[in-house]
Amino acid sequence: MGEHIVVGKVRRAHGVRGAWAVESVTDAPDAIFASGAVLFAGDRDGNPVLEQGAPVALHIEDGRPMNREWLVRVREVTDRDVADTWRGRCLLADADTLPEPDEDEIYIRDILGMQVAVEGLGVVGTVRDVYDAPQGFILEVETATGRPLVPWHDDLVQDVDEEARVITLAHLDGLLDG
Protein backbone atom coordinates (compact mmCIF):
# COMPACT_ATOMS: atom_id res chain seq x y z
CA MET A 1 0.00 0.00 0.00
CA GLY A 2 1.37 3.40 -0.99
CA GLU A 3 0.83 6.98 -0.01
CA HIS A 4 -2.44 8.01 1.64
CA ILE A 5 -4.16 11.26 0.72
CA VAL A 6 -6.93 13.21 2.37
CA VAL A 7 -10.30 12.84 0.61
CA GLY A 8 -12.59 14.12 3.36
CA LYS A 9 -12.78 15.80 6.75
CA VAL A 10 -15.30 14.77 9.40
CA ARG A 11 -17.21 17.90 10.43
CA ARG A 12 -19.65 16.44 12.98
CA ALA A 13 -21.70 13.40 13.98
CA HIS A 14 -25.08 13.05 12.31
CA GLY A 15 -27.95 10.98 13.71
CA VAL A 16 -27.87 8.28 16.38
CA ARG A 17 -26.36 5.43 14.30
CA GLY A 18 -22.87 6.94 14.02
CA ALA A 19 -22.99 8.68 10.64
CA TRP A 20 -20.76 11.65 9.88
CA ALA A 21 -21.26 14.90 8.02
CA VAL A 22 -18.09 14.94 5.88
CA GLU A 23 -16.53 17.79 3.90
CA SER A 24 -15.36 16.24 0.64
CA VAL A 25 -11.98 17.36 -0.71
CA THR A 26 -12.18 15.30 -3.89
CA ASP A 27 -13.75 15.81 -7.32
CA ALA A 28 -15.26 12.30 -7.19
CA PRO A 29 -17.04 12.02 -3.83
CA ASP A 30 -19.70 9.73 -5.32
CA ALA A 31 -16.99 7.12 -5.98
CA ILE A 32 -14.85 7.77 -2.89
CA PHE A 33 -17.79 7.59 -0.44
CA ALA A 34 -19.69 4.82 -2.27
CA SER A 35 -21.08 1.84 -0.40
CA GLY A 36 -18.42 -0.87 -0.31
CA ALA A 37 -15.46 1.50 -0.70
CA VAL A 38 -12.57 1.30 1.76
CA LEU A 39 -10.99 4.42 3.22
CA PHE A 40 -8.49 4.83 6.02
CA ALA A 41 -8.57 6.65 9.35
CA GLY A 42 -6.53 9.82 9.54
CA ASP A 43 -5.68 12.21 12.33
CA ARG A 44 -6.46 15.95 12.26
CA ASP A 45 -3.29 16.64 10.25
CA GLY A 46 -4.04 14.05 7.55
CA ASN A 47 -1.60 11.40 8.76
CA PRO A 48 -2.74 7.77 8.74
CA VAL A 49 -3.76 6.27 12.07
CA LEU A 50 -1.88 3.01 12.54
CA GLU A 51 -2.91 -0.08 14.47
CA GLN A 52 -0.28 -2.82 14.79
CA GLY A 53 1.76 -1.00 12.14
CA ALA A 54 -1.00 -0.91 9.50
CA PRO A 55 -3.41 1.90 8.54
CA VAL A 56 -6.86 1.51 10.13
CA ALA A 57 -9.38 0.60 7.40
CA LEU A 58 -12.89 2.06 7.32
CA HIS A 59 -15.55 0.23 5.28
CA ILE A 60 -18.17 2.53 3.79
CA GLU A 61 -21.72 1.26 4.34
CA ASP A 62 -23.46 4.32 2.91
CA GLY A 63 -22.45 7.66 1.45
CA ARG A 64 -24.71 10.28 -0.11
CA PRO A 65 -24.76 14.03 -0.67
CA MET A 66 -26.31 16.16 2.06
CA ASN A 67 -26.45 19.89 1.34
CA ARG A 68 -22.79 20.96 0.85
CA GLU A 69 -21.40 17.89 2.67
CA TRP A 70 -21.63 14.12 2.44
CA LEU A 71 -23.45 11.89 4.88
CA VAL A 72 -21.10 8.93 5.42
CA ARG A 73 -21.60 5.82 7.53
CA VAL A 74 -18.82 3.26 8.12
CA ARG A 75 -19.06 -0.25 9.56
CA GLU A 76 -16.53 0.52 12.32
CA VAL A 77 -18.58 3.38 13.90
CA THR A 78 -22.04 2.41 15.18
CA ASP A 79 -23.20 5.16 17.55
CA ARG A 80 -23.25 8.92 17.84
CA ASP A 81 -20.87 9.11 20.82
CA VAL A 82 -18.10 7.32 18.92
CA ALA A 83 -18.86 9.30 15.74
CA ASP A 84 -18.53 12.56 17.67
CA THR A 85 -14.95 11.67 18.70
CA TRP A 86 -14.02 11.83 15.00
CA ARG A 87 -14.85 15.56 14.67
CA GLY A 88 -12.02 17.27 12.78
CA ARG A 89 -10.30 14.05 11.71
CA CYS A 90 -9.42 13.20 8.12
CA LEU A 91 -10.54 10.35 5.90
CA LEU A 92 -7.81 9.01 3.62
CA ALA A 93 -7.63 7.04 0.39
CA ASP A 94 -4.77 4.98 -0.97
CA ALA A 95 -3.28 7.18 -3.72
CA ASP A 96 -2.59 4.09 -5.86
CA THR A 97 -6.33 3.44 -6.14
CA LEU A 98 -7.19 6.90 -7.48
CA PRO A 99 -7.42 7.58 -11.22
CA GLU A 100 -4.77 9.66 -12.97
CA PRO A 101 -5.96 13.25 -13.40
CA ASP A 102 -6.86 14.49 -16.87
CA GLU A 103 -4.21 16.46 -18.78
CA ASP A 104 -5.61 19.82 -17.59
CA GLU A 105 -6.05 18.67 -13.96
CA ILE A 106 -3.79 18.24 -10.94
CA TYR A 107 -4.35 16.74 -7.50
CA ILE A 108 -4.27 19.18 -4.61
CA ARG A 109 -1.62 17.04 -2.91
CA ASP A 110 0.65 17.70 -5.91
CA ILE A 111 0.27 21.49 -5.58
CA LEU A 112 1.53 21.57 -2.00
CA GLY A 113 5.19 22.58 -1.88
CA MET A 114 5.25 23.88 -5.46
CA GLN A 115 7.10 27.12 -6.09
CA VAL A 116 5.01 30.12 -7.12
CA ALA A 117 6.35 32.47 -9.78
CA VAL A 118 4.86 35.73 -11.02
CA GLU A 119 5.37 36.86 -14.61
CA GLY A 120 8.14 39.44 -14.61
CA LEU A 121 9.14 38.80 -10.98
CA GLY A 122 10.28 35.17 -10.97
CA VAL A 123 9.77 32.85 -7.99
CA VAL A 124 8.15 34.67 -5.06
CA GLY A 125 7.13 31.86 -2.73
CA THR A 126 5.93 28.32 -2.06
CA VAL A 127 2.42 26.84 -1.75
CA ARG A 128 1.90 25.91 1.92
CA ASP A 129 -1.80 25.01 1.86
CA VAL A 130 -4.85 24.88 -0.40
CA TYR A 131 -8.34 25.81 0.80
CA ASP A 132 -11.60 24.80 -0.86
CA ALA A 133 -13.80 27.89 -0.56
CA PRO A 134 -17.27 28.39 -2.07
CA GLN A 135 -15.77 30.60 -4.81
CA GLY A 136 -13.06 28.03 -5.66
CA PHE A 137 -9.65 26.94 -4.48
CA ILE A 138 -7.38 29.38 -2.67
CA LEU A 139 -3.61 28.93 -2.35
CA GLU A 140 -1.74 29.95 0.80
CA VAL A 141 1.64 31.09 -0.51
CA GLU A 142 4.58 31.52 1.85
CA THR A 143 6.64 34.52 0.72
CA ALA A 144 9.47 36.48 2.31
CA THR A 145 6.91 38.93 3.72
CA GLY A 146 4.06 36.65 4.85
CA ARG A 147 1.47 34.11 3.73
CA PRO A 148 -1.00 35.79 1.37
CA LEU A 149 -4.00 33.92 -0.02
CA VAL A 150 -4.22 33.65 -3.81
CA PRO A 151 -7.37 32.60 -5.68
CA TRP A 152 -7.02 29.79 -8.24
CA HIS A 153 -8.61 31.35 -11.33
CA ASP A 154 -7.97 30.64 -15.00
CA ASP A 155 -7.19 34.32 -15.66
CA LEU A 156 -4.60 34.38 -12.84
CA VAL A 157 -2.95 30.93 -13.13
CA GLN A 158 -0.95 31.10 -16.36
CA ASP A 159 0.90 27.77 -16.19
CA VAL A 160 1.40 24.73 -13.96
CA ASP A 161 4.67 22.92 -14.69
CA GLU A 162 4.35 19.67 -12.72
CA GLU A 163 7.82 18.47 -13.72
CA ALA A 164 9.58 21.67 -12.58
CA ARG A 165 7.03 22.04 -9.71
CA VAL A 166 6.31 25.70 -10.53
CA ILE A 167 2.99 27.53 -10.76
CA THR A 168 3.22 30.74 -12.80
CA LEU A 169 0.73 33.51 -12.07
CA ALA A 170 -0.14 36.60 -14.09
CA HIS A 171 1.27 39.79 -12.62
CA LEU A 172 -1.36 41.76 -10.72
CA ASP A 173 -0.23 44.89 -8.88
CA GLY A 174 -0.19 44.29 -5.14
CA LEU A 175 -0.57 40.52 -5.36
CA LEU A 176 2.68 38.80 -4.35
CA ASP A 177 4.81 41.83 -5.23
CA GLY A 178 6.93 41.15 -2.15
Q: What is the pLDDT of residues 128-150, one digit of tens each?
A: 988 877 788 889 999 998 999 99
Residue 107 has pLDDT above 60, yes or no: yes
Whole-number average pLDDT of the chain: 89
Q: Considering the domain 4-97, what is its CATH architecture?
A: Beta Barrel (2.40)
Q: Please provide the DSSP assignment of 33-102 as one string.
A: TSTT-EEEEB-TTSPBPEETTEEPEEEEEEEEEETTEEEEEETT--SHHHHHTTTT-EEEEEGGGSPPPP
Query: Pick the residue with more confidence: 85 or 110?
Result: 85
Q: What is the pLDDT of residues 72-90, one digit of tens each?
A: 999 999 999 999 999 999 9
Class of domain 108-169: mainly beta
Residues carrying CATH 2.40.30.60, the chain: 4-97
Residue 151 has pLDDT above 70, yes or no: yes
Residues carrying CATH 2.30.30.240, the chain: 108-169
